[in-house]
Amino acid sequence: MKTLILTAALVVFTTFSFAQLPKPEVNDTLKPMNADIEVAILQNADDQVNILMAKEPGKLVKIKVYEDNKLLYVRRVKKAGTANIKYDISAFPDGEYVFQVEKDKKVVFSAKVRKGPAALADN
């Protein structure tokens, strides 16, 4: 029953969220991890990274951003069942960054994001 409710919430969330977002250029991959969480990381041409997530409300998830194995940022998400978390990377120096989503101290999703002139050329 929880899976059915989570799936229905994800369908509603993605239907409305994707319709409102600008067309993603890089990393537009929806990844079902398990019955508890689904994640998509989208990078737009305007240096904005969106993390779309559907999970069981009340379960703690951490979003971490790394550059060259150095932790830059951690955000905890607990209350929301669905979330559209936005990161503006325009102030970041050119380079490659890794966005990780962790649940129960395990990485359930990881995606590389590139900033700079080569970011969109790789597509």
**CA-CA distance, 111 to 52, in Å (whole number)?**
13
Q: Residues 38-97: pLDDT tens digits?
A: 999 999 877 899 999 999 888 899 999 999 999 999 999 988 788 899 999 999 999 999
Indicate yes or no: pTM above 0.75: no
Q: Which domains does the chain have, with CATH numbers?
A: 2-115 (2.60.40.10)
Q: Residues 97-118: pLDDT tens digits?
A: 999 999 999 999 999 999 887 5
Tokens 């940022």 belong to which residue? 73
CB 43 within 8 A of CB 113: yes
